[in-house]
């Protein structure tokens, strides 16, 4: 049984070993923190995926949804799909990549990423500076680096939720899909729908165009409906709404309900950024598909989420992560005490959600400049926080595989590790369960 720290470490050092989909990393990959180009002839990544056969051999393979272990594990991949998973070697076992004491499992999913966003831990000033000084093209090109870092940490799919300018996320997604750059499969929201001001600090009225560059501002139910349709026109796979951002900056129940109705009519999902208990109640009552963050969500709303099967996406980190950003000076002790209380509430709400069987999907919300320059390693720190709230190692793996796939509406085979499953496969050292 892995400890919370060893589980986090195992997932952090994950390296992509295979993926046959042109919309994901090239096939085959390699262990050791690097990715090799696809074997290809005429036709690029697609042709390479069709011609490539790869056999992986490890001490074990894990099927997350059931917890089943195959040991030893031989995984045969061909044409971008898994052909066989079993404990007996195939005829061409001599050509296998031997991974030793490792576990093969489906690629991880981050259900709350921001690949085009980087912000300092400040009062929002750096967020404004990013929007003012960087073009959408700048942010998309920088996002190429973050995308590859996520892939090297084992995340082969992300649900990217805005803060990407005007369709910068769509540009990055297309570049990955076409094989121009290496990165995880992306589901994107384009601009988040938000109350006036978005998530920017309060600014003068002359900065309205800057806000509209980053957010689709909603002032009525009709504007909400129109914003959803515009998002889909611009390439959104789903809708993200900022239900609340401070006093007086909260969407109404009518606005949220209108947004959800139009999105669901188009068979698309809605992710809701919620902070206060009131905002979470509005979102859940309206029938969103996930409540993201939800640090102060009420017990009653968690119960409703369990009944309605609405996902909680806890973007949580351990206290030692937050301590890095407590400023020195006379306010240090007060800020630290506030953050400790915040962390205690977050642990309690995730523990209760787990107890109530609220579906939980992993989401990192990684965008803060930690100084490490590795978005993937930053994102993987959430798993230790989940363990702190009482989730078992297998349950933590499920949050980032089968649970997250269900939230994103991906086919069950995506994380099944069975014949016909896409070859989104990673290996981690040791046994994460």
pLDDT tens-digit map of 184-219: 999 999 999 999 988 887 777 777 788 888 999 999
The pLDDT value given to residue 14? 44
Confidence of residue 124 (pLDDT cuts 50, 70, 90): low
Write out pLDDT tens, residues 49-67: 556 899 999 999 999 999 9
pLDDT over threshold 90, residue 12: no
Interval 238-265 mean pLDDT = 94
Cβ distance 197 to 249 under 8 Å? Answer: yes
Cα separation, 95 vs 118, in Å, equals: 42
pTM for this prediction: 0.89
The pLDDT value given to residue 50? 52
The pLDDT value given to residue 71? 97
pLDDT over threshold 50, residue 241: yes
The pLDDT value given to residue 373? 87
Report the relative pairing of strands 68-70 and 53-63 from DSSP bridges. antiparallel
- Domain(s) of CATH 3.20.20.140: residues in the chain: 108-410
The pLDDT value given to residue 26? 30
Cβ distance 117 to 164 under 8 Å? Answer: yes
Q: Which CATH superfamily groups domain 108-410?
A: Metal-dependent hydrolases (3.20.20.140)
Confidence of residue 32 (pLDDT cuts 50, 70, 90): very low
Q: How many CB atoms lie within 10 A of CB 304?
A: 18
- Which residues, at least 6 apart from 279, have a Cβ–Cβ distance to it below 8 Å? 243, 244, 250, 251, 272
> Chain-centre distance of CA 403, in angstroms?
12
Percent of the chain with pLDDT over 90: 75
Cα separation, 306 vs 324, in Å, equals: 34
Confidence of residue 123 (pLDDT cuts 50, 70, 90): low
For 4-107+417-429, which CATH class?
mainly beta
Does residue 117 or residue 247 have the better pLDDT? 117
Cβ distance 187 to 237 under 8 Å? Answer: yes
3-state secondary structure of 14: coil
Confidence of residue 325 (pLDDT cuts 50, 70, 90): confident
Interval 132-152 mean pLDDT = 95
The pLDDT value given to residue 197? 83
pLDDT over threshold 60, residue 386: yes
- Domain(s) of CATH 2.30.40.10: residues in the chain: 4-107+417-429
The pLDDT value given to residue 237? 98
Average model confidence (pLDDT) for the chain?
Answer: 88
pLDDT over threshold 90, residue 315: yes
The pLDDT value given to residue 21? 40
Write out pLDDT tens, residues 280-310: 999 999 999 999 999 999 999 999 999 999 9
Select from 17, 28, 42, 35 the least CA-distant residue to 79.
28
The pLDDT value given to residue 275? 95
Which letter, b or e, does each residue of 207-239 get, where b requires 16 or more Cβ atoms within 10 Å of its Cβ? beeebeebbbbbeebebbbebbeebbeeebbbb
pLDDT over threshold 70, residue 38: no
Least confident window among 24-28, 132-136, 309-313: 24-28
pLDDT over threshold 90, residue 120: no
pLDDT over threshold 90, residue 40: no
pLDDT over threshold 90, residue 39: no
The pLDDT value given to residue 33? 32
Interval 381-403 mean pLDDT = 98
């Amino acid at each position: 049984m892995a400890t919370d720290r060893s589980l986090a470490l195992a997932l952090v050092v994950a390296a992509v070993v295979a993926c046959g989909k042109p919309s994901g990393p090239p096939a085959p990959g390699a262990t050791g923190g690097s990715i090799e180009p696809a074997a290809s002839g005429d036709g690029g990544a697609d042709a390479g995926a069709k011609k490539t056969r790869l056999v992986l051999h490890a001490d074990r393979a894990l099927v997350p949804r059931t917890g089943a272990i195959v040991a030893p594990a031989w995984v045969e991949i061909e044409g971008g799909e898994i052909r066989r998973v079993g404990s007996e070697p195939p005829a061409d076992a001599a050509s296998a990549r031997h991974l030793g004491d490792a576990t093969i499992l489906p690629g991880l999913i981050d259900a709350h990423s921001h690949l085009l966003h980087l912000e300092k831990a400040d009062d929002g000033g750096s967020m404004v500076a990013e929007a003012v000084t960087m073009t959408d093209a700048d942010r998309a090109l920088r996002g190429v680096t973050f995308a590859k870092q996520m892939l090297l940490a084992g995340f082969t799919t992300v649900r990217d939720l805005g803060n990407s300018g005007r369709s910068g996320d769509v540009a990055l997604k297309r570049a990955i899909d076409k094989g121009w750059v290496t990165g995880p499969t992306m589901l994107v929201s384009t601009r988040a729908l938000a109350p006036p001001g978005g998530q920017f600090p309060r600014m003068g009225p002359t900065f309205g165009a800057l806000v509209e560059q980053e957010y689709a501002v909603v002032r009525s139910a009709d504007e909400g409906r129109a914003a959803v349709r515009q998002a889909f026109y611009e390439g959104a796979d789903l809708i993200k709404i900022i239900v609340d951002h401070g006093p007086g900056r909260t969407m109404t129940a009518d606005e949220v309900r209108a947004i959800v109705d139009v999105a669901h009519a188009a068979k698309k999902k809605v992710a809701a950024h919620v902070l206060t208990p009131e905002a979470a109640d509005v979102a859940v009552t309206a029938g969103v598909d996930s409540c993201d963050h939800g640090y102060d969500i009420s017990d009653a709303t968690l119960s409703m989420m369990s009944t309605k099967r609405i996902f909680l996406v806890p973007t949580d980190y351990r206290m030692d992560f937050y301590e890095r950003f407590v400023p020195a000076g006379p306010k240090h002790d007060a800020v630290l005490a506030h953050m400790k209380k915040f962390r205690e509430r977050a642990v309690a709400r995730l523990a209760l959600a787990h107890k109530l069987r609220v579906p939980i999907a992993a989401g990192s919300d990684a965008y803060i400049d930690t100084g490490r320059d590795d978005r993937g390693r930053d994102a993987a720190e959430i798993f230790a926080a989940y363990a702190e709230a009482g989730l078992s190692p297998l349950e933590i793996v499920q949050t980032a595989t089968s649970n997250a796939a269900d939230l994103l509406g991906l086919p069950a085979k995506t994380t099944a590790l069975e014949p016909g499953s896409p070859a989104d496969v990673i290996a981690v050292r040791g046994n994460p369960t």
